[in-house]
Amino acid sequence: MGRDLKNDRAPDISAELCGIRLDNPVIPASGTFGFGYEFSELYDINILGSFSFKGTTKEKRFGNPTPRIAECAEGMINAVGLQNPGVEDVLLHEIPKLKEVFKKPVMANISGFSVDEYAYTCQRLDAEEQIGWFEVNISCPNVHGGGMSFGTDPSAAAKVTSAVRKVTGKPVIVKLSPNVTDITEIAKACEAAGADGISLVNTLLGMRIDLKTKKPVIANRMGGFSGPAIKPVALRMVYQVYDAVKIPVVGMGGIRSAEDVLEFMMAGASAVEVGAANLVDPYACKKIIESLPGVMEKYNIKSLSEIVGIAHG
Active site residue 140: yes
Which positions ≥6 away from 4 have C-beta within 8 Å?
Answer: none
Alpha-carbon gap, residue 77 to 221, rounded angstroms: 10
Q: Could you tell me if 203 and 72 are in contact, meaning their C-beta atoms sit under 8 angstroms apart? A: no
| Cα(215)–Cα(51) distance, integer angstroms | 36
DSSP 53-122: PPPB-SS-B--SPSP-EEEETTEEEE-----B--HHHIIIIIHHHHHHH--S-EEEEE--SSHHHHHHHH
Out of 18, 140, 190, 285, the active site residue is 140
Check residue 217 and report its DSSP letter.
Answer: S
CA 103, distance to chain mean position in Å, is 19
User: What gap in Å lies between CA 225 and CA 141, rounded to an integer?
Assistant: 9
For strands 209-210 and 215-216, give the pairing: antiparallel
Active site residues: 140
